[in-house]
C-alpha cells in the first residue's frame, strides 16, 4: 500500500485499492499489529481489510486465547471501521466496500460470519479442516437448497482451467520485464556507475561507508527508497537529500518504519512485488531474527529487496549480548536464494550495493560493521571478491597460512599477519556461499592449496566453516554470547584479538 502512493506521485502510474482478507487468528499475529499501526500512521486510504469475524480459531473459540475488541483496536490505529452483521449478505458487503473506498483512512470491514455455515461443524473449529463425508455433503446441499451436483467441477471447466494454468506457467518461464527490471538489466551492462571512495572514508565504519555510497547510487536511481526500523541514526541507511515519506509528502524517499522489524520486511516484499521501485530496509543484525519469516518469503517469492543489517559483531559495545549477533549471520546464509554479503573493505561495500541494486530475482543482505575498516584492497580485489565470493587482500608466495576473514575481522586478520613470525596470505570472503559453490580448481586459485593451514576469523558461530578450514585448519569464532564492554575489551576477553589469535596459530604449528 505504501508503494501505491509513492508510484502515483513520482511516476504518474494508475493507483488502485489493495484488499486483504484476514481472520481472527491472523489478527492475533504480532505482525498484524505492526503493519496496521504503520498503515494508520501513514493514512493509507486505499487499503481495505475484510475481517472474517467468526470468533473461531484453529484450536477452538477465539475467547480461549484472545478477547481483543478488534474494532476498537483498529480505530485506535487511525482506521475507519465498518461492520456487516451477516456475512451472507453480499449487498451489505458491497455497500461497506463502497463506503471504505471513499475514506481518507485505511478501512477495516468486520464481517460477521459462521465458520462452516450450513455444514455439520457450523460455528466450530472442526470446520477448519475436517473433511466432509458423503452424508455430510448431502446434508449440506439440502441446507443450501442446491443439488449435490453443484459440488462437482464440470469436466469442461476443469479442462479449460488446466489449459489456462498451463499457459500461465509458460508465461512465467519467460516473464515480461517491468520498467525497473529493464533498468536494472541495463545497469548490468555498466550504466550504474560504482562510486569512487576517498581514502579517509575507507577507514571509517562499514555503516558510514555504506551511507556515503548509498547517496551516490540514489542520485543515479530516482526509484530507490527505503528506511530503518527506528535506527536510522545508527544504521545510516537513509537518502539524505530526501524527506520522509508520509501522509503529507508522498514524494519522500525515506520511510520511518518505527520499531516494526517484521512489518518492515513484509512491506518491503509488497513494494518489490508491485515493481517499478527498488526498496531497502535496515536494522541491527541481531534484530534480523524478528523478521526471519519476511526474509524467507523474500527468497521464496524471488523479490529483489535489500536488507541492510549493521552492528554485526561483538564490537557493538555496552549494549551487550542482546545486540551482539552470534548465530544470525550463518543462519541467514542457510536460507536458499538469498545473497548474504559481509564486505571487509570499502570497495567491497560499493560493489555489494551495486550487486544488490542490480538483482532482479533474489533478495540481498548487506552485513555492515560498526567498527572501522582499513584502506587495504582496491577495485580489482573487490571485483574478484564479488565474482568468486573471496579474494586476496595480501599475497605472499611463501605463505604458510591462509588467514580467511569477513567484514571487520579482515582488519584483525591483517594484524595477525603482522604478528606472525612466518609469511601468510590474508583473504577476504564476503560471500561464503558463492565461494563454496566454486569448482575446486577455482577455489584453489584464491585460497592457495599449498599453504599449510587455513585459519578462519569471523565473530560468529564456528558452525559452517569446517569445509573451508579443512581438517587441519583453525576456526576462530564464537560459540557463546558476547559481553557488555568496549570493543577492544570484548575482543580481548573473548580471545578474539590479534595477539591471542596469533599466539594460538604459532602454538598450533609447533
Q: Which residues are catalytic?
A: 261
Contact between residue 399 and residue 425 where contact means Cβ atoms under 8 Å apart: yes
Cβ-based neighbour number of residue 46 at 10 Å = 18
Residue linked to cell 550504474: 192
- Compute the distance between CA of residue 151 and CA of residue 143 in angstroms, rounded to an integer: 13
- Compute the distance between CA of residue 447 and CA of residue 438 in angstroms, rounded to an integer: 12
Q: How far is CA 288 from CA 265, 281, 324, in A?
A: 10, 11, 12
- Compute the distance between CA of residue 435 and CA of residue 191 in angstroms, rounded to an integer: 27
Q: How many helices (H) and strands (E) does the chain have?
A: 22, 17
CA-based R_g, the chain, Å: 27
Strand-pair category, 401-405 with 474-476? unpaired
C-alpha cell at 162: 488446466
C-alpha torsion angle, residues 389, 322, 337, 238 (rounded to 10): -80
Contact between residue 429 and residue 377 where contact means Cβ atoms under 8 Å apart: no
Contact between residue 279 and residue 375 where contact means Cβ atoms under 8 Å apart: no
Amino acid at each position: 500500500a505504501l508503494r501505491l502512493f509513492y508510484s502515483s506521485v513520482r511516476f504518474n502510474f494508475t493507483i488502485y485499492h489493495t484488499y486483504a482478507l484476514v481472520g481472527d487468528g491472523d489478527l492475533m499475529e504480532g505482525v498484524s499489529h505492526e503493519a496496521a499501526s504503520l498503515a494508520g500512521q501513514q493514512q493509507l486510504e486505499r487499503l481495505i481489510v475484510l475481517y472474517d469475524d467468526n470468533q473461531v480459531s484453529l484450536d477452538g473459540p477465539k475467547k480461549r486465547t484472545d478477547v481483543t475488541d478488534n474494532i476498537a483496536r483498529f480505530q485506535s490505529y487511525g482506521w475507519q471501521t465498518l461492520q456487516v452483521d451477516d456475512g451472507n449478505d453480499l449487498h451489505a458487503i458491497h455497500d461497506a466496500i463502497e463506503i471504505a473506498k471513499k475514506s481518507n483512512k485505511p478501512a477495516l470491514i468486520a464481517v460477521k460470519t459462521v465458520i462452516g455455515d450450513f455444514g455439520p461443524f457450523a460455528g466450530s473449529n472442526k470446520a477448519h479442516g475436517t473433511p466432509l463425508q458423503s452424508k455430510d455433503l448431502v446434508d449440506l446441499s439440502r441446507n443450501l437448497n442446491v443439488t449435490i451436483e453443484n459440488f462437482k467441477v464440470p469436466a469442461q471447466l476443469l479442462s479449460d482451467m488446466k489449459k489456462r494454468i498451463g499457459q500461465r506457467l509458460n508465461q512465467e518461464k519467460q516473464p515480461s520485464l517491468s520498467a525497473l527490471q529493464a533498468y536494472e538489466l541495463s545497469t548490468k551492462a555498466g550504466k550504474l556507475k560504482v562510486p569512487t571512495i576517498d581514502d579517509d572514508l575507507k577507514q571509517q565504519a562499514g555503516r558510514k561507508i555504506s551511507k556515503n555510497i548509498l547517496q551516490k547510487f540514489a542520485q543515479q536511481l530516482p526509484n530507490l527508497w527505503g528506511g530503518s526500523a527506528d535506527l536510522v541514526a545508527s544504521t545510516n541507511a537513509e537518502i539524505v537529500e530526501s524527506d520522509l515519506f508520509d501522509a503529507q509528502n508522498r514524494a519522500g524517499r525515506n520511510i520511518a518504519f518505527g520499531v516494526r522489524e517484521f512489518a518492515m520486511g513484509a512491506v518491503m516484499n509488497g513494494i518489490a512485488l508491485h515493481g517499478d521501485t527498488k526498496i531497502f530496509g535496515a536494522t541491527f543484525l541481531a534484530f534480523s531474527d524478528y523478521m526471519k519469516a519476511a526474509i524467507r518469503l523474500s527468497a521464496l517469492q524471488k523479490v529483489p529487496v535489500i536488507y541492510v543489517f549493521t552492528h554485526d559483531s561483538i564490537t557493538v559495545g555496552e549494549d551487550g549480548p542482546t545486540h551482539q549477533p552470534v548465530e544470525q549471520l550463518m543462519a541467514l546464509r542457510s536460507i536458499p536464494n538469498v545473497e548474504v554479503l559481509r564486505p571487509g573493505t570499502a570497495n567491497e561495500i560499493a560493489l555489494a550495493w551495486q550487486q544488490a541494486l542490480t538483482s532482479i530475482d533474489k533478495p540481498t543482505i548487506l552485513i555492515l560493521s560498526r567498527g572501522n575498516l582499513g584502506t587495504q584492497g582496491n577495485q580489482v580485489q573487490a571485483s574478484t571478491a564479488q565474482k568468486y565470493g573471496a579474494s586476496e587482500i595480501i599475497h605472499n608466495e611463501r605463505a604458510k597460512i591462509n588467514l580467511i576473514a569477513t567484514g571487520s575481522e579482515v582488519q584483525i586478520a591483517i594484524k595477525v599477519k603482522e604478528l606472525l613470525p612466518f609469511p601468510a596470505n590474508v583473504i577476504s570472503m564476503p560471500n561464503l556461499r558463492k565461494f563454496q559453490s566454486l569448482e575446486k580448481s577455482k577455489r584453489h586459485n584464491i585460497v592457495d592449496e599449498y599453504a599449510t593451514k587455513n585459519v578462519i576469523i569471523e565473530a560468529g558461530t564456528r558452525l559452517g566453516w569446517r569445509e573451508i578450514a579443512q581438517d587441519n585448519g583453525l576456526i576462530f569464532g564464537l560459540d557463546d554470547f558476547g559481553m557488555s564492554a568496549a570493543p577492544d575489551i570484548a575482543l580481548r576477553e573473548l580471545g578474539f584479538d590479534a595477539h591471542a589469535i596469533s599466539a594460538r596459530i604459532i602454538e598450533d604449528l609447533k
